[in-house]
């Protein structure tokens, strides 16, 4: 069984919270364990030592470089959620995206 600890980040964590919920369901269906949570940008630093990947909402793309610098000492992959996945709240698509980013 594969394990992924993922954190989604957006302003207040609302829309990313719905996406996290759908991604958890997709992961459970595939037998992938771990954690998939959503938090606001201000909380990210508290979770860097417990996650594998940090995914930012498309509207937070400008924070990617700053977040990547914070995450580097923790070996956390940082990327921006593609707009189509985010807009459709596509949990399956986000899980595929995260797995692909972690395997690079």
According to the model, what pLDDT value does residue 81 have?
Answer: 97
According to the model, what pLDDT value does residue 104 have?
Answer: 86
Residues marked active site are found at 10
- Residue 53 · residue 98 · CB < 8 Å: yes
pLDDT in tens, 10-64: 876 568 899 999 999 999 999 999 999 999 888 999 999 999 999 999 999 999 9
According to the model, what pLDDT value does residue 12 have?
Answer: 64
Which 8-state DSSP code applies to residue 90? -
CA distance 33 to 52: 13
Distances (CA, A) of 82 to 47, 73, 89, 92: 22, 25, 11, 13
Whole-model pTM? 0.94
- Residue 100 · residue 31 · CB < 8 Å: no
According to the model, what pLDDT value does residue 13 have?
Answer: 58
């Amino acid at each position: 069984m594969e394990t992924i600890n993922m954190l989604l980040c957006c302003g207040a964590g609302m829309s990313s919270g719905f996406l996290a919920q759908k991604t958890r369901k997709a992961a459970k269906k595939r037998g992938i364990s771990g954690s998939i949570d959503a938090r606001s940008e201000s909380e990210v630093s508290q979770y860097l030592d417990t996650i594998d990947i940090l995914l930012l909402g498309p509207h937070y793309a400008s924070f990617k470089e700053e977040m990547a610098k914070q995450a580097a000492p923790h070996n956390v992959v940082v990327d921006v959620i593609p707009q189509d996945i985010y807009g459709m709240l596509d949990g399956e698509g986000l899980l595929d995206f995260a797995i692909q980013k972690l395997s690079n």
